[in-house]
A = this chain, B = another copy of it.
Amino acid sequence: MSQYRVLIDANDEKGLVHKISGIFYQNDFNILSNSEFVDSENNKFFMRSVVEGDMDLDELYQSICEVMPQNANIEVIAPKKKNIVIMATKEMHALGDILVRHEAGELEANILCVISNYAELGPFVKKFNIPFIEISNVGLDREEHEEKIIDTLSEFNDINYIVLAKYMRILTPKFIKIYENRIINIHHSFLPAFIGANPYKQAYERGVKIIGATSHFVNNNLDEGPIIAQEVIHVNHAYSWRDMQRMGKDVEKVVLSRALRLALEDRIFVYANKTVIF
């Protein structure tokens, strides 16, 4: 018996659920879980099923294609470890959280390497027997620096996701284009509040009573990509912005790891600059 994750999005029309579930039924699949959502405003249908059966993947995929409309996006995925690359700068908390989860066997992922524009995190990463690649931006303009990263990444096959674990540089449209909807960032504010640099300082100066963190896919507008996960904590007047920064780290790492897990479990659809998450 094989387990598959079936992801379908399409323009909504009558009979979609019936047709898909018909494929499962006729081919003797067990449905382990089934989630649907219709965005009636945009007339879009989303479905994620986890099924178990004897058919092989391509056959299942073909069977579904036959009953779905032309416009449908169909994915049939056999759960296996995905390949991820982590990019970081100097901070250890978000990166460390992912590395420990990986070590504990909690992640459905192979970490291909960690890339940083600084050397600082090298010894830490190497403890976990994961390649650490420093790609300094000293003396390089943004494009030159990124070109080196792109070259490095091109040596790896099948990168499913790039995780920006507090990577503190802005990516160019060229880079983003290559890994569209596959770059997961953590921004250290409750977006869309406090876009850009120093969000804790901005939050401190505004006198907010709650701070947060946001994980999102990266697009060409800074901190404006589709949001995957958000979380907050309460603060008060006694918190300096450095306290907020320190406390915020706990939120950042939890949110980033949660977003990564959702991605690895194929639970995220992206459309209209938003996410549907099952």
Cα of A28 to Cα of B15 in the assembled complex, Å: 9
Interface: A124 (CB within 8 A) = yes
A96, B100: Cβ atoms closer than 8 Å: yes
Interface residues on A, range: 35 or more
Bound: A124/B157 CA distance, A? 29
Of A131-139, A179-187, A208-216, the one touching chain B = A208-216
Measured CB to CB, the nearest residue on chain B to A195 is B193
Which of A31-39, A55-63, A69-77, A142-150 lines the interface with chain B?
A31-39
Contacts of A70-103 to chain B: CB distance below 8 A: 91-93, 96-97, 99-101, 103
Contact B93 A104 (CB under 8 A): yes
Q: Does A25 contact B (CB under 8 A)?
A: yes
By a beta-carbon cutoff of 8 Å, the part of chain A in contact with chain B is: 14-15, 17-18, 21-22, 24-25, 28-41, 91-93, 96-97, 99-101, 103-104, 106, 124, 127-128, 190-194, 206-210, 212, 226-232, 234, 236-238, 240, 246, 249-250, 254, 257-258, 272-277
